[in-house]
């Protein structure tokens, strides 16, 4: 008997996990062997990481054990790190074995884009995984404890966040909410604490928001104590702080870089043609040169009908995962493929507790209403991946 076609999915983030979950629902065990590979045995909600990073939420709230989501009778889970992708040999090298595939789905997410700014790679924290946000949260609290022993070092209480797109904005909102608790706990005068959000563009908040919503969001965050440095580049990051384009030096013991992302380096290394580490996929989300390789989420680049690429987002990754699963099932059943169409619903950026701003289905939303919509969006994702049981577990 011929072996069943082997589908290998790399990465259990939003894109890879949704592909796996949909395949386990759609396929019967005579149609394919499906393997999901991920560095950790849990799925993390990347879009939530700003909260545990600031310490306003527990990190386990942003984690879900993969065994809770995957039926091991249908999808074989391998906890391992991908070291190399070999599309010509149809192989993937993991740290402990080599896998051969008939169809590959790459959903390995993104890496910080540092634009070659000296010191950012070495000295700035990045919000990118559960382990990285645990480090940030611990470091922030450590700075308060250290300041109590060296009260002349106000740079321990100075926080610089590079970039004020979605990640930077959501993080400064949470950090501003967290600091009053830390000031109280360590008996630190809150006027000594400074949060600088440095942004090269002339305005903060995610690109594409209408200017009245940008003004609203920036007003909210300024009232919470954020100091914006707009139209300002970070020229260098050092162990002592950051040098700005103007030459000004901000002495700060904590620098967090959120200034951009690029696709996982493994794609470039595998010889895929990339722009910012992302592969311009065809209408079925495949690499144009390798029709057996599908690419989802932050590793892929999808053009909007206007001809500009959609910004990487969890929303896009989830829709791509569903489309890839559907098309893999279609290939295995000799049915026609369905082109990917993205019905972009909009973006909502949280500004800390009870405050958010954004556009949903073309309508502007702000304040508490926007914060509730954001919670509904998050809840919807939990329902997609884990049904009512996961939803109830996470919200209660």
Ligand X SMILES: Cc1cc2nc3c(=O)[nH]c(=O)nc-3n(C[C@H](O)[C@H](O)[C@H](O)COP(=O)(O)OP(=O)(O)OC[C@H]3O[C@@H](n4cnc5c(N)ncnc54)[C@H](O)[C@@H]3O)c2cc1C
> How far lies 241's CA from each of 113, 204, 283, 376, in Å?
19, 21, 45, 38
Q: How far is the CB of 332 from ligand X (least distance, A)?
A: 23
| Residues between 182 and 211 that touch ligand X (CB under 6 A) | none
Measured CA to CA, the distance from residue 30 to residue 174 in angstroms comes to: 48
Size of the site for ligand X (CB under 6 A): 31
172 binds ligand X per the rule CB under 6 A: no
Which of 4, 26, 31, 40 touches ligand X by CB under 6 A?
40
- Please identify which residue in 114, 274, 313, 327 interacts with ligand X, judged by CB under 6 A: 313
Q: Which stretch binds ligand X (CB under 6 A): 7-15, 150-158, 175-183, 271-279?
A: 7-15
Q: Which of 23, 143, 270, 314 binds ligand X (CB under 6 A)?
A: 314
- Our CB check for ligand X shows the closer of 224 and 374 to be 374
Contact 331, 103 (CB under 8 A): yes
Nearest to 214, CA basis, from 39, 349, 110, 354:
349
Residue among 143, 317, 329, 357 that touches ligand X (CB under 6 A): 317
| Annotation marks residue 170 as catalytic | yes
Backbone angles phi, psi at 111, to 5 degrees: -135, 155
User: What radius of gyration do the chain's Cα atoms show?
Assistant: 22
Which C-beta is closer to ligand X: that of 55 or that of 156? 55
Q: Report the nearest approach of ligand X to the CB of residue 189 (Å).
A: 29
Is the Cβ of residue 14 or residue 147 nearer to ligand X in the bound state?
14
Is residue 241 within the footprint of ligand X (CB under 6 A)? Answer: no
Q: Which residue is nearest to ligand X (CB)?
A: 13
Nearer to ligand X, 85 or 331 (CB): 85
Strands 158-162 and 254-257: parallel
Q: Scan residues 351-390 and list those touching ligand X (CB under 6 A).
A: none
Sign of CA dihedral 207, 208, 211, 217: negative
What's the CA gap between 117 and 254, in Å, rounded? Answer: 17
Q: Could you say whether residue 315 binds ligand X (CB under 6 A)?
A: yes
**By CB under 6 A, is residue 276 in contact with ligand X?**
no
Per CB under 6 A, does 259 bind ligand X?
Answer: no
Does 264 bind ligand X (CB under 6 A)? Our answer is yes
Q: Which is nearer to ligand X, 43 or 188 (CB)?
A: 43
Phi then psi for 147, rounded to 5 degrees? -60, -35
Kindly tell me which residue out of 112, 162, 241, 297 binds ligand X, with binding defined by CB under 6 A.
297
Number of helices (H), then strands (E), in the chain: 10, 27
Using CA atoms, how far apart are residues 312 and 302, in angstroms rounded to an integer? 9
Q: What share of the chain is helix, strand, coil (3-state, %, to 5)?
A: 40, 25, 35
Which position among 8, 9, 14, 262 is part of the footprint of ligand X (CB under 6 A)?
A: 14
**Binding to ligand X in span 55-94, by CB under 6 A:** 81-82
The residue range among 58-66, 165-173, 179-187, 338-346 that interacts with ligand X, by the rule CB under 6 A, is: 165-173
Q: Supply the minimum distance, in Å, between the C-beta of residue 246 and ligand X.
A: 28
Q: Are 200 and 231 in contact (CB under 8 A)?
A: yes
Nearer to ligand X, 65 or 81 (CB): 81
As given in the structure block, the two tokens for residue 345 are 């619903």
> Choosing from 170, 174, 199, 355, which is the catalytic residue?
170
Question: How far apart (Å, rounded) are the C-alpha atoms in residues 371 and 377?
Answer: 10
User: What gap in Å lies between CA 321 and CA 332, rounded to an integer?
Assistant: 17
Residue placing its CB nearer to ligand X in the complex, 161 or 243 = 161
Choice from 39, 91, 280, 290 touching ligand X (CB under 6 A): 39
Regarding 20 and contact with ligand X (CB under 6 A), the answer is no
Of 352, 396, 358, 362, the C-alpha closest to 377 is 358
Alpha-carbon distances of 191 from 136, 157, 170, 303, 311, rounded to whole Å? 22, 10, 22, 46, 37
Active site residues: 170
* Residues within the interface to ligand X (CB under 6 A): 11-16, 37-40, 46-47, 49-50, 81-82, 107-109, 127, 166-167, 170, 264, 297-298, 312-315, 317
């Amino acid at each position: 008997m011929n072996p069943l076609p082997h589908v290998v999915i790399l990465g259990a983030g939003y894109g890879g996990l949704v592909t796996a979950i949909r395949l386990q629902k759609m396929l019967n065990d005579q149609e394919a062997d499906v393997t999901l590979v991920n560095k950790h045995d849990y799925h993390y909600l990347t879009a939530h990481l700003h909260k545990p990073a600031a310490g306003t939420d527990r990190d386990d709230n942003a984690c879900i054990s993969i065994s809770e989501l995957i039926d091991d009778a249908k999808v074989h889970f391998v906890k391992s790190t991908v070291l190399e992708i070999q599309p010509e040999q149809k192989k993937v090298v993991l740290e402990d074995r080599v896998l051969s595939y008939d169809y590959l789905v790459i959903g390995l997410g993104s890496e910080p884009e540092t634009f070659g700014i000296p010191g950012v790679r070495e000295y700035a924290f990045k919000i990118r995984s559960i382990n990285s946000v645990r480090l940030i949260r611990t470091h922030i609290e450590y700075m308060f404890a250290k300041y109590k022993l060296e009260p002349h070092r106000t740079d321990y209480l100075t926080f610089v966040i590079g970039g004020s797109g979605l990640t930077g904005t959501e993080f400064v909102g949470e950090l501003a909410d967290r600091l009053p608790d830390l000031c109280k706990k360590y008996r630190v005068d809150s006027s000594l604490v400074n949060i600088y959000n440095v942004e090269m563009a002339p305005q903060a908040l995610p690109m594409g928001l209408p200017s009245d919503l940008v003004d609203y969001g920036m007003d909210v965050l300024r009232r919470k104590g954020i100091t914006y440095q707009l139209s300002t580049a970070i020229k260098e990051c050092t162990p002592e702080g950051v040098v700005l384009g103007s030459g000004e030096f901000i002495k700060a013991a904590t620098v967090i870089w959120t200034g951009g992302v690029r696709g996982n380096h493994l794609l470039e290394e595998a010889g895929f043609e990339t722009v910012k580490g992302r592969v311009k996929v065809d209408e079925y989300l495949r690499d144009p040169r390798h029709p057996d390789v599908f690419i989802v989420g932050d590793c892929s680049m999808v053009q909007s009908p206007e001809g500009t690429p959609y910004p990487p987002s969890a929303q896009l990754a989830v829709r791509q995962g569903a489309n890839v699963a559907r098309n893999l099932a279609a290939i295995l059943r000799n049915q026609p493929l369905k082109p990917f169409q993205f019905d972009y619903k909009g973006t909502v950026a949280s500004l800390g507790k009870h405050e958010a701003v954004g556009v949903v289905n073309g309508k502007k939303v702000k304040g508490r209403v926007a914060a509730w919509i954001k919670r509904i969006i998050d809840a919807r994702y939990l329902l997609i991946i884990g049904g009512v049981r996961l939803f109830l577990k996470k919200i209660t």
